Chains A and B, each alone.
Chain A
Amino acid sequence: METGYDLERIRRLARATSDAIEQLWSIVSDDPAAQDALDAVRLTRRNLQDHWMPLLGQIIASQALLGWNATGPVAARSGPRRSGRTDPQRRAQDRQLLDDLLLVLYDLTSHDPADRPTDTELQQLATELAERAHRSDTVADRLLELAGITPSLALLTSLADFPDHITVAALVGALLADEPVGALGTRHHLEAVEAAMTGLLDTPRAALDVLLVPGTLAALGTWELLDDDLVREFVVTALHDAVVADPTRRRDSYHVLAELTLLTGTTLDGGMQAGLARGVAASLVGYVDTLAPAIRREGGSEVLVVLDDETVVLGTYEQVTDLFGAILRDPVAQVSVGIAAGAYATAVVDARGVEIVRGSHLARVTRFADLVGDATRSEQAELVVAAAAAEAARRKLGTLVGVGVSVGLTAAGAGSLLRSATGRVVSAVADRLVDVEPGRMPGRAIPAAIYDVVTISAVALVVRDPALRAPLGLGGVTSTQWRGLADRMTGIERTDDPAERARQVLRLERHIEDEIPDLDHYLREVRDVENLDELTEDRRPGE
């Protein structure tokens, strides 16, 4: 495409554009019937302000046509470029390709379906553009420029293998774009965003890059028309899978969580899109081992997450509690938070081995349980979180905790393991709670459930591993008593009903207290940590 301009005409056009912007500003109406029309006026004004005026200004200020010398033009940008000299024929083909793209982008917004490009035409253009974007900086730069202007580019990037930075820019541009005018515009915009999000599910690092751009989380959290399941999958891909694939990115994901904490008190004050709440909750199992140690004091004190290379301020205790409160409004998210709490409690006990009676690791479990308890605002939610925590422990989901430990557990990857394991708990909890009335359970069920999980895990540890018994002072427990304990543990494990399981745990404790003093002493030592006994304050009556 030929490039050129007439400076005098450009100046006249700039004056006329400026006048038009002024006139568009003056159009106002408080009649609700005029809303669509006013939206169209606003979009027109924004286009003139954001695209026309800067370009006209650049041209007026440019020395390009005056600054030539014998050595040719000075390069517009420094740094290495992939293609030094491009074959003129190839350059012409790229220009033609970009012209075709502009036409297609224009046709995509047409109200007349007959004008819109066919799927085959779109696919063909996308494939060719993606191939060229990998090889030509000119094409890549133009696509980046367009990403900030039209959401339609996100639709194209979902159809072929574009460089990651272009796909990310296209989705970010589409998420941050102004709402379009009219039902068709909204549908097209939504279609483009959802297609681009689906396309990024195979590239977790790029999905995380999207969430790191300011404004994208707010867009996902407030756009109610977006498909819940897709948003959840996208968020899990970004916050869990990307970090499992590359644990050094945990720092980035914590920055995303810190922004979400801030948003909870502002933009998302009225609630967040269900998929976002579910995605964050499902990813939590990967964060709980670094988040729980950061929870130290209540109120206005900061929750400082200490990572290998950085300390991230997630927010104050109150703000983090509010974040959990917002997430826990969603019933599916409640199950995921329960899974994280239950899995974390078992993981801590299992990982400590003989050290279980020393150190303050269990205090982290209690602080996390307290935070979840503080954040849960309905009895039904308490019931769901507690049941999910117990179910996670019963299914031995401690291996899901953290990042870096789950890789290799399944050929399909840790993300797939997380989804299938949590999916089973979600179904189990949902099945069991469907007919349970909230009134059957007292408040603060979550800490009580975590207390039970710690008790069972601590007993299971020594029942399972005879080598730990002597070092833990349990050499005097007879083999008959161990067999009896193993039978009780199997019974508890096989009990589906959470209320019945809680009763069996209490019976087990009483049996130990009455019959096996050494084991009772061991359990007291395990529980001799800050706050653990407080978890039993409102423990439900067993009998």
Chain B
Amino acid sequence: MRLEQLAGDDTWRGLRPTLCRTLLATNVHQLHQAADDLRWQAWLFEQRADELDVIARQQLQTVHHPFGRVG
């Protein structure tokens, strides 16, 4: 985040600036964690979608094949 670079010791020093940076670091950590959780959920959904695609294709082949299930 650009703010972290702009808010270094060159810009301000002291107790309250340190506290502001600390709180921002906590916020950024939480944001990253939430983003990671979302990515993980998305990956799980994609996995599940792929599995469902495979199942759907297999069922379609079963229905349309004149001699029943292939495989």
Chain B window 33-70, contacts with chain A (Cβ cutoff 8 Å), 1 for yes, 0 for no: 11101100100000000000000000000000000000
Measured between beta carbons, the chain B residues less than 8 angstroms from A13 are 3, 6-7, 11-12
State the main secondary structure of chain B at its contact with A: helix
Chain A window 1-15, contacts with chain B (Cβ cutoff 8 Å), 1 for yes, 0 for no: 111111001101100
A sample of 5 cross-chain residue pairs with beta-carbon separation below 8 angstroms, ordered by A number, consists of: A16-B2, A20-B1, A37-B38, A52-B20, A182-B34
Known contacts A37-B34, A51-B20: A1-B11 contact under CB 8 Å: no
How many interface contacts (CB-CB < 8 Å) are there between A and B?
A: 106
Known contacts A1-B14, A102-B15: A36-B25 contact under CB 8 Å: no
Measured between beta carbons, the chain A residues less than 8 angstroms from B20 are 47, 51-52, 55
A142–B16 CA distance with the chains assembled, in angstroms? 9
- Kindly state whether residue A181 has any CB partner on chain B within 8 Å: yes
- Kindly state whether residue A127 has any CB partner on chain B within 8 Å: no
State the main secondary structure of chain A at its contact with B: helix
Contact in complex: B13, A4 (CB < 8 Å): yes
Measured between beta carbons, the chain B residues less than 8 angstroms from A150 are 23
Interface residues of B in 14-29 (CB under 8 A from A): 14-20, 22-29
A95–B17 CA distance with the chains assembled, in angstroms? 14
Contact in complex: B31, A146 (CB < 8 Å): no
Contact in complex: B26, A109 (CB < 8 Å): yes
Contact in complex: A102, B22 (CB < 8 Å): yes
- Kindly state whether residue A33 has any CB partner on chain B within 8 Å: yes
A44–B27 CA distance with the chains assembled, in angstroms? 5
Known contacts A1-B14, A2-B14: A106-B34 contact under CB 8 Å: no
Contact in complex: B14, A3 (CB < 8 Å): yes
**6 more A-B residue pairs beyond the given contacts A16-B3, A182-B30, with a C-beta to C-beta distance below 8 A:** A1-B14, A5-B11, A9-B10, A33-B38, A34-B38, A98-B15
- Kindly state whether residue A43 has any CB partner on chain B within 8 Å: yes
Contact of A146 among B2, B12, B19, B26 (CB under 8 A): B19
Measured between beta carbons, the chain A residues less than 8 angstroms from B2 are 16, 20
